[in-house]
Amino acid sequence: MNFELLREDAKVTQASDLWILSRLQETVKRATAEFEKFEYAKAREAIEEFFWRDFCDNYLEICKVRSYGLAAEKLVGTKLSDLQKAEIQAKQQSAIKALEICLNTILKLFAPFIPHICDEIYSALFAEEFTKTQSINARGNWPKLDEKFFDQSLIEDGKLLLEVIFEVRKFKSEKNISMKTTVEKVRVARVVGIEKFVEDLANVCNAKKIELIAEEKLVEVII
DSSP state of 10: -
Per-residue model confidence (pLDDT) at position 217: 75
Mean pLDDT, the chain, rounded, equals: 91
Per-residue model confidence (pLDDT) at position 107: 98
Rounded to 10°, the helix 82-110/15-36 angle is 10
Q: Which residue, among 22, 36, 47, 8, has the nearest Cα to 154 in the 3D structure?
A: 22
pLDDT in tens, 193-216: 899 999 999 999 999 999 998 877
- Residue 72: pLDDT band with limits 50, 70, 90: low
Is the pLDDT at 56 greater than 90? The verdict is: yes
- Stretch 39-66: mean pLDDT: 97
Residues in the chain: 223
Percent of the chain with pLDDT over 70: 96
Burial class (CB in 10 A: 0-12, 13-18, 19+), 61: middle
Per-residue model confidence (pLDDT) at position 73: 61
Per the CB < 8 A criterion, the answer to whether 67 and 96 are in contact is: yes
- Asked whether this chain's domains 3-149 and 153-222 adopt the same fold, the reply is no
What is 153-222's CATH number? 3.30.2320
Query: Any idea which of 18-27, 69-78, 87-96, 110-119 has the lowest mean pLDDT?
Result: 69-78
- Please report, for residues 15, 19, 43, 202, the alpha-carbon distance to residue 94 in angstroms, rounded to integers and kept in the order given: 10, 12, 28, 18
- Residue 17: pLDDT band with limits 50, 70, 90: very high
Burial class (CB in 10 A: 0-12, 13-18, 19+), 223: exposed
Domain boundaries, the chain: 3-149, 153-222
What is 3-149's CATH number? 1.10.730.10
Task: Give 76 or 49, the one with higher predicted confidence.
Answer: 49
pLDDT in tens, 154-186: 999 999 999 999 999 999 999 999 988 999 999
- Residue 71: pLDDT band with limits 50, 70, 90: low
- Stretch 144-152: mean pLDDT: 96
Per-residue model confidence (pLDDT) at position 218: 75
pLDDT in tens, 74-101: 665 677 788 888 888 899 999 999 999 9
